[in-house]
Structure 1
Amino acid sequence: MQDELVLALEDLAQGQQHLAETRMRQLLARAPDFAPGMEVLAMALAAQGQRTEARELFMRAAELQPESSGAWMNLGNVCLEAGDHAAAEAAFVRASALGAEDVAWLLGYGLSLLGLAQFGEANRILQAALIKEPDAADVRLAYAQSLAEMERFEELSQCLRGMNADALDPGQRQAFAWLLAQAGDDLAAQDVYRQILREAPEAMESRVQFSLLLERLNRVDEADNILKGIAATSASAVTAMHALAAARILRRQQQSDAAITCLATGLQRQLEPAMRAQLGFELARNHDRLGQVDLAMQALSAAHTAAEAAFQQRSSGHQLPGVLDWLQQRLRRAAAATWQQERVDGLPEDPAFLVGFPRSGTTLLERMLDAHSQLDVLDERPALEVAIEQLRAADGWPGDDLDKGLCELAPSSILALRRRYWNEVQRHLQPQGRLVDKYPLTMTRLPYVARLFPKADWILLLRHPCDCVLSCYMQAFGSNGGAKAFATLESTARTYVAIMEWWHEQRAYSPARVHTLRYEDLVGDVSGELARLMGFLSLSVEQQQFAFDNLAASRSRRINTPSYSQVVQPLNAGAVGRWRSYRAHFNEEILAMLAPWVTRYGYTLD
């Protein structure tokens, strides 16, 4: 029997699955309980796509060899292929109890945990596999998937660096393209998708993913053409992701009624919470476009519920900070005058920081500034956060006591942090002019900026507090970027108050040169507001700044904000006062919280 096993394994190695199957069926006819023969037959069947019978054979082989870790490994892998992640996990746990601990076990177990949405534990297991075999493409892609699920996109980008699409099999190549898109490496992702579709034009999932990427890059016509390439015979297999892609394109084509119908089809499916949330937010956008306020709010409530469930999946088993805990990092007394001394260290001119509460219009202003020949905008990349993380990880750092920590910084430490910041900037951009660092909530890092960049300028953009709150509530910021803070209108209003209170308190303690303007004034008088802002930056207005929409539409990099579709359109005041249509959903508690800020910034609740 051993000779026949060896011959069958040689058949498999040579791609002769049918011959291996015949050999093993003949062997098992003589010895029906010969477990190794069952396993080789199961391998031959699985290679031919006959997974149901293969799984039954692997299960029987494991029952006959309950002390064989290899038998349970085989069962776990075939369950993975069948999409039964719970059964796969159980099999891999049995294998582990019998001593399995190699890379194959780590990979299989990690993939089963990914399928069960246990992302934190999957990440830990798959990282261990990658440490053991850093050159294994299947291991690296699985670990990368865990990073994507946890929205750790900077680490994801680093993980994918150096991978070669040509060295991957078709399934791996598809996963690679999607992960590149998730990491924001749009040009590379497009190249891989085009390669996939050249070789397999019928690849439906890749078409859907590619269309989502192109829509995200504001290339709506191309996205539509790619999606229409899905054969009519595949229509019955429309996935939730297909529904999402089609709905986004329809909305961009001013066909919100059709988009709503498409989304309803997708939402009828059994969905993971993250996908249900995405469909729900898209549904709300379309109801909003049609003026269907109550339906929009119903869709938003369901979307936020799903987003909360997705957040719980991602954070399961992890101790997380409170929603606004970072606001405890503050000065308690005025900074020393020495903080304002200019630093001559050969590094670029200190940046201008473009900030504001999210959804205040910073992306619109960013596009106008980026159109200037002497300015370069870093678009929502956490360069400053990287430097702050390095600072706070240093030995002896006194927690949230910024008075002590920042005051006691040695000149050498300040220089190292400034270099860390600029190195991070240059990972994304090679500034030729002065840098404008656009990251709205950098406003909550005022003391750090005052210490590290004493000659920085600040551009603070305000918007009617009620419009800010409504717009944040209506956006899908991602599970790590708003699932808690913006879960309800009430929590969003509390977040607004907490952040604006923090800003004004810290302004009293931190030296800062700030130019403040209001979104409503900007869209009402572009020439005047832009002239005043450019004067603040000691620059002249350039004519191309008024054609920002054309420049934004032609750029190859994505616009890293939920409002990416709006900044490729001509300027209009349509978003001003939108909250009034939703006033019935602003209860008295919300209005009472926001009223002082409405008055302070020159607005009304009329």
Structure 2
Amino acid sequence: MQRAVLAAAEHHAEAPHLDALARQALAHAMAERHADAAVLFERLHRQQPDEPAHALNLGNARLACADVDGALQAFEAAERLGGDGVALWLGQGLAWLAARRFQEAGRCLGRAYRAQPGASDVALAWAQYLVEMERFDDARRCLARIDIAAVSPMQRRGVAWLHAQAGDEHLALQLFAACLADDPGDDVTRLQYALLLERMNRVDEAGEQLAAVRHPSAQPALYALCRGRWLRRRGDARGALAHVRSALEHAGGDEMAAQLHFEAARLHDLDRDEDAAMSSLQQAHASAKRAFHVRHPEAEHADPLAWLAQRLAAPAPAHWHAPIEDGHPPDPVFLVGFPRSGTTLLQQLLRMHPALQVAEEVPVLEDVIAALYGDARDGDLGARLEALAPAQRTALRGRYWSAMAAHAPDPYRRLVDKYPLSLTRIGHIARLFPRAHTLCLLRHPCDVVLSCHMQAFGLNGGALAFSSLASTAEAYARVMTYWEEQRVLAGCAVHVLRYEDLVVAPGPTLREIHAFLGILPHGGGIEEFHRQAHERETRIRTPSYAQVARPLNTDALYRWRRYRRHFAGEPMARLAPWIERYGYRE
């Protein structure tokens, strides 16, 4: 905004009173007296209606006053008057973002970022858009361009929250602490800080931040979500539910409403009120779907599992399995399974072994596949992979290991790439990593489906596929059909285990895994697992973050039985063949 105001001031040399008015408006804006600035910029716009800079500055001031419609009108006027450049694209993009018009916001902010990627205000706005779209890897790269020392205190608070969302917890914690040291009365930042601490299983510290909130009623939805999660973690489900219920009428948007309804469903489940839990889940998914379609209107009628069209039509040729000697580390161990099958628990247990290191749900293989095929989603996968020249395959492997280096820095420990839905990439694994081992974790299909339906996976991770028990059961059947067919054709080394065995008999189950991987058994016991979970300095990037910090227990086994009547009809019809196939009982 300062850049635009100063540019406008240069036009007033022949009109000293307008020059003085512009400088006064600038002073108000710099002091964050945005309402006063808006009044003066509006006067300037009326007196010189053909000057695009006045309309631009008026738009910025109105946006700072949360007058989104007025800001958009002013920016449109600036554009009609011939206004152009980063200042306009930035302001207009932020206004579209505030209006939840994500397609327009992306066009404007992307244009500004391409023009000036090194400008901190531009990078901050683009990162905000990327986080809204859940493009977290892109957001991290964008945030790395921001000179934190050069941004305003208000922008620094925004940077802290974006880092928390994008996965850089250490920097987010430092920024939150610094912001609160400068302004202890900033309740929004304190609540965001508390949410991150709870997400990192630092529950006592989250409670300390909650206790320091000065005006809870000023942020009723955010406070209720934060306090509700904290009370749930402290074992007070009914007290948590009272807070969450009280805030639903103040949710303000579908994104917050979805989070509150998902939290309410968890609390009803803990209170063993299954019907109320399912009612809350229906409302949660309705809100999540609306939020998803606002961001991705083109996906309203799209198949959320369209990528399953990429499949092998015949057994992989024998030469696919020949080892590749290209100087890279040993081929990874891929830890896969339908979501909510227990892969996070197994990941934590494998992390204890001194010969292994774990990369947790980073889509590196997905990025390699996207680079190879772009948006192609169907056709004969085998023919495409067979057509790869040796140099192409080496380049793709190099791309994978280069991207994975930040997540698996120890060259002497074998990588476990935990990305559950890589079970739908078994053909790519066979071609690119012929000496890989794949661990596939199963769990009772009904427990998996119920758990997926109950989770807030994010606006890109289940808003459509998991919106009902029926749709989740259909997704399970389609994915597991793909897996069982494709793993036979791929001919990869696969070890299948069951979550229930891992929980009931972790020692023998882990020894079987170690033997499959060709590594010596490790003497670390369950006590070491719990110690590592509690001492972990980064958050666990799945909805299971709270469960894996608890002592190993059987509480989650066969929870679906309490919801049996909700599985009647289509969900059970879809799942019955898989229950039988995997040796479970209804």
TM-score by length of 1: 0.90
Amino acid corresponding to residue 400 of structure 1 in structure 2: G
- For residue 428 of structure 1, give the secondary structure of its aligned residue in structure 2: coil
What does 1:17-32 correspond to in 2, within 5 Å?
Answer: none
Equivalent in the alignment of 1:282: 263
Tell me the distance in 1 between the aligned counterparts of 2:118 and 2:337. 43
**Which of 551, 555, 561 is the equivalent residue of 2:532?**
551
Equivalent in the alignment of 2:55: 72
Per-residue Cα deviation, 1:283-334 (whole angstroms, up to 9, x for no partner): 1111111111111111111110110011012114679952111000001111
Equivalent in the alignment of 1:384: 365
Equivalent in the alignment of 2:553: 572
Equivalent in the alignment of 2:386: 407
Equivalent in the alignment of 1:600: 581
What does 1:6-45 correspond to in 2, within 5 Å?
Answer: 42-43=25-26
**Which of 121, 125, 138 is the equivalent residue of 1:155?**
138
Contact 1:120 1:317 in 2 (8 A): no
Equivalent in the alignment of 1:16: none
What does 1:220-259 correspond to in 2, within 5 Å?
Answer: 220-231=203-214, 234-259=215-240
Change over 3 Å in CA distance of 1:398–1:384 after alignment to 2: closer
Tell me the distance in 1 between the aligned counterparts of 2:27 and 2:357. 58
CA deviation after TM superposition for structure 1 residue 40, in Å: 5.3
Change over 3 Å in CA distance of 1:317–1:459 after alignment to 2: closer
CA deviation after TM superposition for structure 1 residue 550, in Å: 1.7
CA deviation after TM superposition for structure 1 residue 121, in Å: 2.1
CA deviation after TM superposition for structure 1 residue 131, in Å: 2.3
Contact 1:181 1:213 in 2 (8 A): yes
Equivalent in the alignment of 2:449: 469
Contact 1:370 1:377 in 2 (8 A): yes
What does 1:422-437 correspond to in 2, within 5 Å?
Answer: 422-431=401-410, 432-437=412-417
Pick which of 570-579 and 538-547 moved more.
Answer: 538-547
Tell me the distance in 1 between the aligned counterparts of 2:297 and 2:51. 32
1:322 aligns with 2:303: yes
Equivalent in the alignment of 1:90: 73
Pick which of 74-83 and 449-458 moved more.
Answer: 74-83
**Which of 188, 192, 209 is the equivalent residue of 2:175?**
192
Equivalent in the alignment of 1:506: 486
1:444 aligns with 2:424: yes
Tell me the distance in 2 between the aligned counterparts of 1:56 and 1:318. 42
Tell me the distance in 1 between the aligned counterparts of 2:535 and 2:96. 41
Tell me the distance in 2 between the aligned counterparts of 1:37 and 1:368. 68
1:527 aligns with 2:507: yes
Contact 2:307 2:377 in 1 (8 A): no
Pick which of 425-434 and 154-163 moved more.
Answer: 425-434
Equivalent in the alignment of 1:485: 465
Q: Which runs of 5+ in 2 are unaligned?
A: none
Change over 3 Å in CA distance of 1:318–1:133 after alignment to 2: farther
Contact 1:331 1:402 in 2 (8 A): yes
Amino acid corresponding to residue 211 of structure 2 in structure 1: K
**Which of 569, 572, 587 is the equivalent residue of 2:568?**
587
CA deviation after TM superposition for structure 1 residue 38, in Å: 5.9
Change over 3 Å in CA distance of 1:435–1:320 after alignment to 2: farther
Equivalent in the alignment of 1:455: 435
Amino acid corresponding to residue 419 of structure 1 in structure 2: G
Equivalent in the alignment of 1:21: none
Equivalent in the alignment of 2:245: 264
Equivalent in the alignment of 1:31: none
Aligned-residue Cα RMSD (Å) equals: 2.3
1:417 aligns with 2:396: yes
Equivalent in the alignment of 1:102: 85
CA deviation after TM superposition for structure 1 residue 47, in Å: 5.4
Amino acid corresponding to residue 411 of structure 1 in structure 2: P
TM-score by length of 2: 0.93
Tell me the distance in 2 between the aligned counterparts of 1:291 and 1:544. 36
- For residue 213 of structure 2, give the secondary structure of its aligned residue in structure 1: coil
Amino acid corresponding to residue 482 of structure 1 in structure 2: G
Count residues with an aligned counterpart. Answer: 574
**Which of 164, 176, 188 is the equivalent residue of 2:147?**
164
Tell me the distance in 2 between the aligned counterparts of 1:562 and 1:502. 25
What does 1:356-367 correspond to in 2, within 5 Å?
Answer: 356-367=337-348
Per-residue Cα deviation, 1:414-459 (whole angstroms, up to 9, x for no partner): 1111111111111222133111111110000000000001111111
Amino acid corresponding to residue 214 of structure 1 in structure 2: L
Contact 1:278 1:476 in 2 (8 A): yes
Per-residue Cα deviation, 1:31-72 (whole angstroms, up to 9, x for no partner): xxx877765555555556654455345445434433221222
Equivalent in the alignment of 1:212: 195
CA deviation after TM superposition for structure 1 residue 398, in Å: 9.6
